[in-house]
């Protein structure tokens, strides 16, 4: 799988919601969701299949909870 293409696809999908997706050192095998900053941060050690599953769930959640999400400070989802 082309990881750069995969990441670009997710960045575009989340971008349509005004949310930024990036990879940064946030801990082993975790995803950080910061509602106030409209950011999703993936750990570089996260397996691609796990990251894809989590991004699908977060994307769906963000679509339906956008107004509520913005009021949240942040939450950590681990895989």
Q: Give whole-number Cα distances, 60 to 1, 64, 69, in Å.
A: 23, 7, 12
Give pLDDT, residue 71: 60
Contacts of 30 (CB under 8 A, 6+ apart): 43, 46, 76, 77, 78, 79
Looking at residue 8, its pLDDT comes to 94
pTM of the model: 0.79
Beta partners for 32? 41, 76
pLDDT tens for each residue of 12-71: 999 998 899 998 876 677 888 877 788 898 888 888 898 999 999 989 988 887 666 556
CATH of the domain at 46: 3.30.2010
How much is the pLDDT for 1? 61
Count of domains for the chain: 1
Residue numbers of the domain that contains 29: 3-78
């Amino acid at each position: 799988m082309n990881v750069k293409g995969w990441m670009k696809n997710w960045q575009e999908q989340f971008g349509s919601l005004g949310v930024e997706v990036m990879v940064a050192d946030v801990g082993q095998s975790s995803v950080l969701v910061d509602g106030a900053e409209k950011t999703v941060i993936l750990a570089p050690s996260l397996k691609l299949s796990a990251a894809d599953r989590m991004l699908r769930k977060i994307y769906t959640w963000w679509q339906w909870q956008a107004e509520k999400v913005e009021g949240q400070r942040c939450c950590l989802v681990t895989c």
